[in-house]
Amino acid sequence: MKKPMFVVFVFLFIFSLPCFAAMSKHIVDYRIKAKLTPEEKAVIGYEILTWLNNSDTPVSELQFHLYLNAFKNNRSTFLKERGGISRSIKPDEQNWGYNEIRKIKIKNGADLTTAVEYIQPDDGNKDDQTVMRVLLPEPVLPHKKIILEIEFYAKLPKVFARAGFENNFYMASQWFPKIGVLQEGKWNCHQYHSSSEFFADFGVYEVEITVPEEYVVGATGKRVKEIDNQDGTKTYIYYQEDIHDFAWTACPDFVEFHESYSLDDPPVKTEIILLIHRSHLKLKKRYLDSLKNGIEFYSQNYGAYPYPTITLVDPPLKAAGAGGMEYPTLFTTLGAWFFPKGLLIPEMVTIHEFGHGYWYGMVASNEFEEPWLDEGINSYSEIKAMAKYYGEDRSMLNLGPLKISDFTFQRARVIGSGRLDPILKKSWEFYSGGSYGLNSYSKAALSLLMLERYLGEDIMAMVMKTYFKRWKFKHPTTENFIEVAEDVSKQDLGWFFDQFWRSPDKLDYAIGRLRSTEVKEPEGIFEGQYKTDPKDKEKNVEKIYKNEVSIIRKGELVFPQDVLIIFENGEEIREKWDGKDRWKKFKYLRPYKLKSAQIDPENIMILDIDHMNNSRLMKPNKILPLKHALGLMLDFQKLLTWIGM
Ligand SMILES: [Zn+2]
């Protein structure tokens, strides 16, 4: 579309919008024109960025993410950190990806193109060009705006990690020059790491996407206009406020479906858009149903889904590296034509990625620095949603007698792994990608489920609702989450978070010894006299036993213990122990013996790494079947770990 027409259109469009109060503070305003050139596997872009200096200090430099430069060469921080491999797929040597800044200038002002330089705030790797700095001729004063015009060229890599192309499928994500976040006068603009996700300010995006006319397009936000350019191309215009990123996809082999979705309580009205690759059409109902489940679950448990659209993108199998990824109001899922109904990966990925729209999308914490706030809270939500809609014991795998829940899978992942890192760590400082995933996703999710069992389901539900309500669109930190949990539960929970989030140590309590020994009548010589003739003993009416139960703390972490002790005659005793010492003994004199002892009878200690030593019978029973089940889960875990999400 020609520029004057575009301006008229934007003007008309903006003034025809209903007057809603903004949900977020708008720091950025992006107006981007993007043209896909399939022959070059690239996007030619023109960006007008209006940026507000929301601080009290003048700002004399700007910092930008150029994420695609992670795929520029094998010395980028992203590729070095993972040995050049992501999700077991290597980048194609012939198809590196990059962001080239062809021009950057202040609107009606200085050309800054020669002022561009690359910086490496995290690791000093001079070969990494994922962060760009631009020095300004004059500072942006506090609470004033600057408008920049940027011409850029986004060469897409062959897809292996989120963004890129595969044959005629294009995923344009992390594709445009994106300004960092100014916090207390300083730039928070991290390099693109192999395990990091993202952080950005909220604002307005209007993006005009031009593609060959046979391409089906999906994008963040609402499509507000479609233009046939009469030259074999079409232009689609998308608009959305209160978001902090923008992604789009194009492929002639997508089949597009629309359905309106509404919910009464809380009130939700949105349009579901499915873009399913032709080869996966049989998954349509599974995708649609799980997305509806996701919208309902998150709306009811955290807050109403507020955007007018939600777009599900199903990439072709060969582009699985682009699957399972979240963007504002759009996400990619993962499926294959050969997935049996009982393998609930499409459902799980769909619910998980939709759910990110809450923690990554609306709450929008800094995923570089505190990845658990997104992945952990989202995995916790996903486990609960999957259990609700697909069955407590079969929410991941439901193939005849073989049933595994999402919860069991995540727990197997945690107990079967090393403990090299705590949950709270910057995403690129974990020992490995595996340790990042284990802690930020599974362990964080299980720690929240454990907190839920400790506090009670109702209180935890209120914690989560309050956290979302209080912090949506405000970029909270871990401290803000803890504050909400303590406020709502009216308890000091520092001891819980210090141990389970700040330490990699293990939680393991065990029943030690169970002993029931008969208390003998005094026998032998006492004060020069024989006491009790052994023959008299036979006449004793009742035997008395000294019953002893010992509990051992085998791990470093401390958790208050409930103990259930059962005697042979059926008598039950409940004991409490603060769990602080290394062991504790309980002793009882009874005319009967112990039958069993169990710690954690309410099953609160989800993170206890060995549940099999939590109970003991005086007469040992068999535990073999449990061990087999555990082995199977660990195999299944390898498959799911590969998916990564
Ligand atoms: Zn995720």
- Ligand 1 centroid–CA 552 distance in Å is 37
- Ligand 1 centroid–CA 376 distance in Å is 8
Q: Tell me what pLDDT residue 118 has.
A: 98
- Ligand 1 centroid–CA 641 distance in Å is 12
The pLDDT of residue 638 is above 70: no
Mean pLDDT in residue range 70-87: 82
- Ligand 1 centroid–CA 442 distance in Å is 11
Q: Tell me what pLDDT residue 88 has.
A: 45
- Ligand 1 centroid–CA 120 distance in Å is 26
- Ligand 1 centroid–CA 640 distance in Å is 13
Three-class DSSP category at 160: coil
Q: Tell me what pLDDT residue 83 has.
A: 78
Alpha-carbon span 373 to 379, nearest angstrom: 10
- Ligand 1 centroid–CA 351 distance in Å is 10
Q: Tell me what pLDDT residue 11 has.
A: 47
Confidence of residue 619 (pLDDT cuts 50, 70, 90): confident
Q: Tell me what pLDDT residue 520 has.
A: 83
- Ligand 1 centroid–CA 274 distance in Å is 20
CA 598 and chain centroid, separation: 34
- Ligand 1 centroid–CA 197 distance in Å is 10
Three-class DSSP category at 570: coil
- Ligand 1 centroid–CA 303 distance in Å is 19
Look at residues 34, 332, 320 and name the one whose alpha carbon lies nearest to residue 175: 34
Q: Tell me what pLDDT residue 2 has.
A: 43
Residue 284's contacts (CB-CB under 8 Å, 6 or more residues apart) are 257, 274, 276
Q: Tell me what pLDDT residue 536 has.
A: 56
Look at residues 66, 263, 47, 28 and name the one whose alpha carbon lies nearest to residue 150: 47
Contact 117, 129 (CB under 8 A): no
- Ligand 1 centroid–CA 644 distance in Å is 8
The pLDDT of residue 548 is above 70: yes
- Ligand 1 centroid–CA 326 distance in Å is 7
The pLDDT of residue 17 is above 90: no
Contact 312, 333 (CB under 8 A): yes
- Ligand 1 centroid–CA 386 distance in Å is 14
- Ligand 1 centroid–CA 544 distance in Å is 59
- Ligand 1 centroid–CA 265 distance in Å is 26
- Ligand 1 centroid–CA 18 distance in Å is 33
Of all residues in the chain, what percent are helix, strand and coil, respectively (each to 5)?
Answer: 30, 35, 35
Say what the pTM is.
0.90
pLDDT digits (tens, 9 = 90+) for 93-135: 568 999 999 999 999 999 999 999 999 999 999 999 999 999 9
Confidence of residue 25 (pLDDT cuts 50, 70, 90): very high
- Ligand 1 centroid–CA 315 distance in Å is 17
- Ligand 1 centroid–CA 261 distance in Å is 24
- Ligand 1 centroid–CA 615 distance in Å is 35
- Ligand 1 centroid–CA 38 distance in Å is 30
- Ligand 1 centroid–CA 356 distance in Å is 7
pLDDT digits (tens, 9 = 90+) for 131-159: 999 999 999 999 999 999 999 999 999 99
- Ligand 1 centroid–CA 21 distance in Å is 30
- Ligand 1 centroid–CA 427 distance in Å is 13
Confidence of residue 380 (pLDDT cuts 50, 70, 90): very high
* Of the ranges 11-20, 356-365, 616-625, the best mean pLDDT one: 356-365
- Ligand 1 centroid–CA 645 distance in Å is 5
- Ligand 1 centroid–CA 523 distance in Å is 69
Look at residues 163, 169, 164, 155 and name the one whose alpha carbon lies nearest to residue 252: 169
- Ligand 1 centroid–CA 375 distance in Å is 5
Pairing of strands 203-212, 233-243: antiparallel
pLDDT digits (tens, 9 = 90+) for 187-225: 999 999 999 999 999 999 999 999 999 999 999 999 999
- Ligand 1 centroid–CA 103 distance in Å is 35
Confidence of residue 47 (pLDDT cuts 50, 70, 90): very high
Q: Tell me what pLDDT residue 15 has.
A: 43
Residue 95's contacts (CB-CB under 8 Å, 6 or more residues apart) are 41, 157, 158, 164, 165
Look at residues 360, 359, 334, 344 and name the one whose alpha carbon lies nearest to residue 403: 344
308 φ, ψ to 5°?
A: -75, -15
Confidence of residue 604 (pLDDT cuts 50, 70, 90): very high
Confidence of residue 624 (pLDDT cuts 50, 70, 90): very low
- Ligand 1 centroid–CA 437 distance in Å is 9
- CATH of range 253-342; options 3.90.700.10, 2.170.190.11, 3.30.2010.30, 3.40.640.10: 3.30.2010.30
- Ligand 1 centroid–CA 116 distance in Å is 33
Alpha-carbon span 555 to 503, nearest angstrom: 12
Mean pLDDT in residue range 305-334: 96
Q: Tell me what pLDDT residue 21 has.
A: 77
- Ligand 1 centroid–CA 199 distance in Å is 14
pLDDT digits (tens, 9 = 90+) for 114-125: 999 999 999 999
